[in-house]
Structure 1
């Protein structure tokens, strides 16, 4: 039998075997089946319900409120933001495992949760996904960019191209976790640029910036400023988790 004829059958067999393989939910450790069930349905329903969020900064809001007061007073530079969940248990631990402990198998279920949030909260179409880049030294140390992994998974689910090389990180800024917003903003100034070769194809494109977590929006704000200055038509921010106030 020609190889081309065997391939679909082999693919289906391998997929079936993989989907039946025993697994454990990364959050509650309950028994699951297959790589797609890395976070179980019970945990998704319990810890990641679809809730109303500000259309500009993705913070939780009361039902019926579209934009928070802070964004009405001082709108962020991006056109809209979507977050799949709050940065709290169990998502903070899962994202930390993906980011710092090589839990690469978590990229798919986390991206799937973001895809579901985007489906529940329709956004204007985008032409390309751009992951937030890591500095070269940090990328060498870690070996991968968690934002790029999430963007690649999301691109397959949304049928949108991803371009990890269009954004450059020029400075390896200090870790932002414990810094107030004004310090974060100051740290980010001049930290990013558009790859010069990408400028012609960026012009008039609608882009979505993909990251794991948004806290104050300092990183997203600086990258948005750079993208708009480079000719992008609009920028949305899509993150797995939003740090609550």
Structure 2
């Protein structure tokens, strides 16, 4: 007899930006059908003073990255202006293991990661390893909240280095998958994707027939504010852990 896998015939919708195929591969291994349909994308913001900003990085004690998108945009500028990452002799703080991997992949060292991969935990734990007078440069997206800037006593400058844009062509695919299939799980990695989903899909068809998965308590809280019940949220805020937790959830059904 063929063994029934925990995600057998389950359509698993990925609404966020995928940086690797690991979570998709895991979905397949557990019998699921991955639907990769990101509702958002990011693109580097290019400004005339980018080179000057790069050179000024050395004047800071800390560089802060909260997403892989910010690291990729920073790396693109390093390459454009032929700046060797080894010349960046500054401490680096990140939110999340994947962001840390992105930093290390471009040849830089990570000096601080919070115990929970969230900006609100970052601002509580960062003061334990950084003195109040140490100056920080925070690399962020255009939709990033002020949690870090307002939550730290350190002098902080912001560099809005990328922007988040809506991917309209994937909205109809997500709607069609949900409306035409009974077994659907949907994964949200950020409030940005949730807001687009709710505006174009969720407000019309609701969330009751979905297994709703979230990365992080901020994402969960955003979903709940729109009336969704979050069934799956891992303790470790990564996409692969979402799949592990989803497998456990489906195994109990």
**Same fold by TM (over 0.5)?**
no
Report the TM-score when normalising by structure 1: 0.30
Report the TM-score when normalising by structure 2: 0.29
